[in-house]
Each structure stands twice: as C-alpha cells, then as structure tokens.
Amino acid sequence: MTYHAPANVEEAISLLGSQDNAWPVAGGTDLLVQMRSGRIKPGAIVDIKQIARTMGTSAKDGGFVIGAATPCTALLKDDALCKAWPGLVEAANLIGSVQVRNRATIGGNLCNASPAADSVPALIAADARCVIAGPQGEREIAAAELPAGPGRTNLGKGEFLVEIVLPPREAMSSDAYLRSIPRTEMDIAVVGAGVSLSRDKDGVCTQARVALGAVAPTALLVADAGEALVGSQLDDSALAKMEEAVKAACSPIDDKRGTIDYRIAMAAVYTKRAAKIAYDRAGEGA
C-alpha cells in the first residue's frame, strides 16, 4: 500500500484515477477500522487533508461551505454555523468519542454510506449539496443522492467529495437531529431523525424537511412528512399526519439493535421530538 497526501484537487483526482485500488481518506475513523478488519485492502491511500479547500468552514452566498475533511469538532468553533444549523452540528458531534470526533468528518460519514450514519439525516434535512471533483471536472449533487446503498456511493472512479454546501437560511428557521441508542454515547443509531423547518411570526410552519437514518438501506428524505407540517403550528393533528408519513417510509432491518416494529415506532417518536425542537429553536428571538 502507498500513502499520498496531495496538495490540491487536481493531484488528488489524478492519484485516485491512476493508482490501483485507491481510496480517499479524511479522518480515517471508518477506513482504518475497515482496513484492520480486512474488509478492504487499499492499494493506495489518498489523504485529502492537505488540500486547502477540504479544510474548514466559511460563509458563502448567505449559506455555508464545509470542507469535506473538516473534523466534526471544528464545526463547533464556527459560531455562525452553529447558530444557523445547530441540528447538523449536534449530529456531527454525536459521532463516537472526542478522540474520534477530532478526526472524523461529515464528508467521511456521508461517503462511508452507512445507513445509520448520524450526520446524514441532518445533511439531507438541511438540503445540503455535495461538490464532487473528478476527471470530468466538478459536479454538484444533493446529499441524499451520494449514498447508493449500505457501503456504496454514486461516486465514479477518480471522483471525491470536496465540499458540502448548506443553503442560505431564512429568518425563523432551524433544525434538530435526534437518535435512539441503547447507551448514552459511543453506539450506532437504532433510528436517527433530522428535521429542518421555517416558520412565520405567527408560528405557522412555512417549510419543512424530514429525513430518517437507520430505517432503510440509505438515509432518506420523507417529503410528505415535511409537507404534513407546512401550514400548521405543529398541533397534534399535523404531527400525527407526519408520524404516519414517517412510518410508511420506513423499511428497516431486524437485528440485535431493534426489531422492525420497534424501529418504525421509534422513527415516529424521534421525528416528532426533533420537529418540536427545531420549531422551538426557529421561534427563539421571535
């Protein structure tokens, strides 16, 4: 195995395209574990952390750009990002331990394509876009379109994720992410629920996106769950409609962490809680 730390995007693309069985690495908290267990045997590791564009957060066009190799804990240092997207920052900082989060990235969380990845429902609820660089130049896709199935992505040969872009935020908008785990930390989500919404000064929800993790082969957007909230003040009937939409969207597996019925029931419960938190946050300072 060879190790490369390209200094720019072009070099990284050429290494990923030319080296045999080349894998990009950001924090390495999934990749190294998979190497150790023998699940993958990279011929080359392309460390993207020396590429300036992949590191750090910045405000852009009213939204934010997050470099794909930015560690989860670094997100906490950007006050404006934490204020606009508290749910996404929290989701990223539920991952593992401090030791893990000082290395782990939301880019790696997304590209690892685990159905239970914690930051992914929050990214999808946020309508985040992925800037992907490759031999054909750069393209942009929605976060929801990057994972293709458990452990598989829609990235082509030589392509890698450079940046994650969060859209401009309207006034009175916020988000939240909650997960159900048997322990209080260091565990894999049984279900994860991300909600991002906007409301007006009368408390009426004007826009909402709901995304779920760990209940299908990939994290998913549940469009009709979001729509169920629009036009309401999150009263019981709107929430009940949202819960029905959430349950209908789930197609989870049965495993030691939770049965199918349990996961479906919990998806509804956690989505409701996350929606209320996002709604209250959006109303703060109103």
Ligand X SMILES: Cc1cc2nc3c(=O)[nH]c(=O)nc-3n(C[C@H](O)[C@H](O)[C@H](O)COP(=O)(O)OP(=O)(O)OC[C@H]3O[C@@H](n4cnc5c(N)ncnc54)[C@H](O)[C@@H]3O)c2cc1C
Q: Is 28 in the site for ligand X (CB under 6 A)?
A: yes
Q: According to the binding rule CB under 6 A, does residue 108 interact with ligand X? A: yes
Q: Tell me, what DSSP letter sits at residue 254?
A: P
Tell me: does residue 56 bind other proteins (CB under 8 A): no
The secondary element (H helix, E strand) that includes residue 58 is strand 57-60
Residues facing residue 101 across a β-bridge: none
User: With respect to ligand X, which residue has the nearer C-beta, 66 or 250?
Assistant: 66
| Residues linked to residue 191 through DSSP beta bridges, in sequence order | 180
- Enumerate residues 109-138 that contact ligand X by CB under 6 A: 109, 111-112, 117-118
Q: Does 96 bind ligand X (CB under 6 A)?
A: yes
Choose which of 38, 99, 202, 235 interacts with other proteins (CB under 8 A): 99
Sketch the per residue contact string, 136 through 175, with other proteins: x for CB under 8 A, - otherwise.
Answer: ----------------------------------------
**Least CB distance to ligand X at residue 92 (A):** 8
Window contacting other proteins (CB under 8 A); options: 58-66, 76-84, 99-107, 199-207: 99-107
Stretch (H or E) spanning 260: helix 260-283
Residue 91 or 166: the one with the smaller Cβ distance to other proteins is 91
- Binding part of the chain for ligand X, among 154-162, 163-171, 197-205, 254-262 by CB under 6 A, reads 154-162
Residue 194 binding result from ligand X, other proteins, none, given CB thresholds of 5 to 8 Å by partner type: none
Q: Which of 6, 67, 86, 96 binds other proteins (CB under 8 A)?
A: 96
Residues 243 and 229: their CA atoms lie apart, in Å, by: 10
Q: Which residue pairs, CB below 8 angstroms and at least 24 apart, start in 248-251? A: 249/212, 249/215, 249/216, 249/220, 249/222, 249/225, 250/212, 250/215, 250/216, 251/215, 251/216, 251/217
CB closer to other proteins out of 49 and 179: 49
Beta bridge partners of 46: 4, 24
List the structure tokens of 263: 């996961």
Q: What three-state secondary structure class fits 109?
A: helix
